[in-house]
């Protein structure tokens, strides 16, 4: 009875209340970032750039922190049988890796968003910021779809009949991610890419 009450109480909190609070908090922090960037741009106020950077980093940690809280509460909310503890730990470790990848992706998107940090303080053009957002999003999705399952496969328990296939699939995921990453680096470093045109504006490639 107590376990049922705990489930009915925590499930709405975890999947309704906490996401709503995270959404509201992220919007509030983003408004603060925009306000500090605007004030610093207009008045060149000392220290506002640092405060804006801190708020930007804080904004990008909201959803990864929510995932971490859910993962922390999950074993207490729904305890797994002893035989499935190792599998649950592998899944939790994979989701924690996903939360870290999510934070990196959100931070990159915050830096290169329109009228954001890169465009305001680093002088990046809107075309370059849009190009970098797309490159980072491609890398982020590839890491999320390939590195997280790889981490789960490497950490999950398995018998002698299962382990070789898990290792082979993990290698396939990692090789695919490396190929995608190589393509992204090639596109970003290509001589006609917006980044190279910004870094070397006066170089005429033959």
- CA 6 from centre of chain: 31
pLDDT per residue as tens digits for the range 67-88: 988 888 777 776 667 657 777 8
User: Running DSSP on this structure, what letter comes out for residue 147?
Assistant: I
Domain match, 97 and 197 both? yes
Pull the structure tokens for residue 43: 């008045």
Q: Are residues 75 and 87 in the same domain?
A: no
Half-sphere exposure of 120 (CA within 13 A, CB side): 22
Beta carbons within 10 angstroms of residue 171's beta carbon: 13
Mean pLDDT, residues 188-203 taken together: 81
Confidence of residue 2 (pLDDT cuts 50, 70, 90): very low
First to last CA, the chain: 76
- Tell me the whole-structure pTM to 2 decimals: 0.82
pLDDT tens digit string along 83-135?
A: 577 778 888 888 999 999 999 999 999 999 888 888 888 888 999 999 999 99
Q: Quick one: 191 and 92 in the same domain? A: yes
Residues 49, 120, single domain; the answer is no
Q: Which domain holds residue 44?
A: 1-79
Which residue, of 64, 79, 94, is where some domain finishes? 79
pLDDT band at residue 46 using 50, 70 and 90 as cut-offs:
low
* 141-191 tens-digit pLDDT: 999 999 999 988 888 776 555 677 888 899 999 999 999 999 999 999 888
70 plus 113 within the same structural domain: no
Task: Give the residue from 79, 107, 132 where a domain finishes.
Answer: 79
Domain boundary among 45, 79, 113: 79
pLDDT in tens, 126-137: 999 999 999 999
């Amino acid at each position: 009875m107590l376990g049922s009450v705990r489930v009915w109480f925590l499930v709405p909190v975890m999947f309704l209340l906490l996401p709503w609070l995270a959404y509201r908090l992220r919007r509030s922090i983003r408004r603060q970032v925009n306000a500090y960037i605007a004030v610093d741009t207009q008045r060149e106020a000392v220290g506002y750039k640092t405060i804006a950077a801190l708020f930007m980093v804080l904004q990008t940690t909201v959803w990864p922190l929510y995932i971490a809280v859910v993962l922390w509460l999950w074993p207490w909310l729904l305890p797994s049988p002893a035989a499935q503890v190792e599998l649950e730990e592998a899944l939790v470790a994979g989701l924690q890796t996903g939360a870290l990848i999510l934070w990196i992706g959100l931070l990159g998107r915050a830096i290169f968003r329109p009228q954001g940090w890169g465009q305001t303080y680093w002088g990046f053009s809107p075309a370059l910021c849009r190009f970098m957002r797309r490159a980072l999003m491609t890398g982020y999705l590839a890491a999320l779809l390939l590195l997280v399952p790889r981490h789960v496969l490497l950490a999950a328990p398995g018998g002698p009949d299962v382990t070789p296939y898990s290792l082979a699939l993990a290698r396939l995921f990692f090789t695919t991610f490396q190929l995608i990453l190589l393509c992204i680096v090639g596109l970003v470093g290509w001589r006609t890419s917006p980044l190279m045109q910004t870094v070397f504006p006066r170089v005429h490639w033959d």
